[in-house]
A and B are shown apart, each in its own frame.
Chain A
Amino acid sequence: MPSADPNAKATTHAAPTDPYLRLERVVKRYAPGAAAAVDDVSLDIARGEFFALLGPSGCGKTTLLRLLAGFERPDEGRILIDGADMAGVPPYARPVNMMFQSYALFPHMTVAQNVGFGLRQEGLPRREIQTRVAGMLELVKLGRLAGRKPHQLSGGEKQRVALARALVTEPKLVLLDEPLAALDRKLREETRFELVRIQQRVGITFLMVTHDQEEAMSMASRLAVMSHGRIVQLGTPQEVYETPANRFVADFIGTVNLFTGHVAGVDGDRLLVYCPDAGALLTVEHAAMPTGKDLAVALRPEKIALDAAPVEPGPNRLAGRIGAIAYRGEASSYEIELATGKMLRATVPNTKRRAVPFAVGQSVGLVFEPGACVVFEP
């Protein structure tokens, strides 16, 4: 069990063999005959994992969260937590706590009373409640604010109270609904690390819902990308980013350049794909495929190297002209127009302080390795 293991993130690559949370073919429709909000979702999550459900709004991720909390009932399928079937178990009897997007702190209670709410409900003695609330407030660094009311707190403080309230009863599963969405950008980035640190300290299984791919990738040990109620890809952040399963995932996670073409030949463990929109043959590391098969080729902007000297067009060598430059500090994004008229995006880190390597209108060569490209059904 990788619970409370600081290396949990590294040790839970593969799908768990003994799932702690299991969803079996779960279907949820809000009205009979309507399109399913959650459509035949099966998922296994291991104990101590930090799992993220990622997708655009309306993809069913929040409905899935509400099914787990017990606020909604599935129309089909089963939900098991630590082996126990949750069918017919009301929210108050589930070993699951939720951190709401709005935080849903009780406005008439102090921070300490909010955090101690679940413990009081369990009927624990007053002294034990006090000790555990104090310990939890210490963990989220809110000890000095115990006597405040929610309206006297900043957004970040409210967020930590909501987290403490969800953790203090030591549930088997904590659900986080867009936990960082209400924070401003700077705080959001700091809080990412903080959340992961706290999750590893307490060792409780976290399931987070977010539409922010950067958030999901930087925090979760594994993630599932959802679209139209279905899971379209499941894996570690690196797997999902570097090997997107289809056009939707490639496009939703990060920025991507997409070419369409067909298999022109096979060269050992490489596939030769002719892409008319690139005006060139692209070589891709991939198992053999029949010649003539239509494919899409995805290339991430940071996998492209820019060459100031003109290059001879050839496999994985393209010529283009810089159309626009977005300077972002640590890196610059270039918009490059190929001879075919297709626009590409390339990102190059700014490793030198004073260098101004490229200018708008300049002709450049684009070079990338065969391993940089991914192919999938168009």
Chain B
Amino acid sequence: MSEAFRRRAVLALPYAWLALFFLVPFLIVLKISLAETTIGVPPYTPLVERGEGGLGLHASLANYRFLLGDSLYIRAYLNAVKFAGVSMLLCLLLGYPMAYGIVRAPRAWRGILLLLVILPFWTSFLIRVYAWIGLLKGNGLINNLLLALGVIHEPLALLNNAFAVYLGIVYSYLPFMVLPLYAALERLDPALLEAAGDLGCRPWQAFYRVTLPLSLPGIAAGALLVFIPAVGEFVIPDLLGGPDTLMIGKVLWDEFFNNRDWPVASAVAVAMLVLLVAPMVFVRRLLQGETA
């Protein structure tokens, strides 16, 4: 085997992985989204059909027109973007000081603090979200505690509303924000902050002019890692949300499993993917501008 061939083979591996486990499934979903729903197995019409005049192509954009025509889908998508966006900002506001604190902590502590950030992953995501129901419900731990202390006289509505969804998303995705921020801040040379101080920056000015711009790649990575899965989230709005927290992931789930309308569900999935590409391209541009 020649050197060039081996190098190409190594590079081909990730591409092959992406092709097999991303591109092919995506094409299948795309194909289904162009079909019509039918009763049978599978529950959609074939794309290519052998008819009297040879092969016939049965593709229609009817499902996409349907999505645009029904305000439910657009509202659900915008709602998902709102929930994901606000949660992303909350994660950033909470995660930045956490990551900064861990980087500044004594070296011996850092490993333990990072472990604490990752620790929730040792329990199933689903169980952790269920646990919040026990905490937040009308006669749950938090309400009972507050009632017993006499702080409140009636249980607070903590569950099945927007508050619970925000809480669930921020709680579940915070580690995805903290870890890339930690990586970015940990690389920062402490001499740069001393240099900024030496050249007349008060500590907060040094943060604004040096630390913040240099941690931008970490902020972008964390923001994407929180925003993208949060947009498609359906477990959290399903378990913690209420009627006013409709999100596109939940709609997709219902369309697929409750209505058994595979083509519309596929159309929702494709539309969601296309709309998620936009923020990724935007962040990529932003970072390229920063390093150029």
The residues of A with any CB-CB pair to B shorter than 8 Å are: 69-71, 90-92, 94, 96-98, 100, 102, 104, 106-108, 117-118, 121-122, 165, 169
Contact = CB atoms under 8 A, between A and B. Distances in A.
Given A92-B198, A92-B201, A118-B199, A104 B213 contact: no
A121 B194 contact: no
Given A90-B197, A169-B199, A100 B191 contact: yes
B194 A91 contact: yes
Nearest to B191: A104
Nearest to B214: A108
Given A102-B189, A107-B214, A108-B290, A122 B200 contact: yes
8 tightest Cβ-Cβ pairs between the two chains A and B: A121-B200, A118-B199, A104-B195, A104-B191, A91-B197, A108-B213, A98-B198, A92-B200
B195 A106 contact: yes
B189 A117 contact: no
Contact of B192 (A69, A104, A122, A165): A104
B239 interface: no
A70 B189 CA distance: 18
A1 to B, nearest CB: 25
A149 B194 CA distance: 20
Given A100-B194, A100-B195, A106-B192, A118 B200 contact: yes
Interface in B245-277: none
24 contacts: A70-B197, A71-B197, A90-B197, A91-B198, A92-B198, A92-B200, A92-B202, A92-B205, A94-B198, A97-B198, A97-B199, A98-B195, A102-B189, A104-B189, A104-B191, A104-B192, A108-B214, A121-B199, A121-B201, A121-B205, A122-B200, A165-B199, A169-B199, A169-B200
Interface of B: 189, 191-192, 194-202, 205, 209-210, 213-214, 290
Contacts of B196: 106, 117
B104 to A, nearest CB: 16
Contacts of B290: 108
Nearest to B210: A106
B276 to A, nearest CB: 28
B200 A104 contact: no
B207 to A, nearest CB: 13
Contacts of B213: 108
A347 to B, nearest CB: 40
A365 B229 CA distance: 87
A97 B200 CA distance: 9
Given A122-B200, A169-B199, 7 more contacts: A91-B197, A92-B202, A96-B198, A100-B194, A104-B194, A106-B210, A169-B200
Nearest to A93: B200
Nearest to B200: A121
A118 B195 CA distance: 10
Contacts of A98: 194-195, 198
A70 to B, nearest CB: 8
B106 to A, nearest CB: 14
A64 B101 CA distance: 29
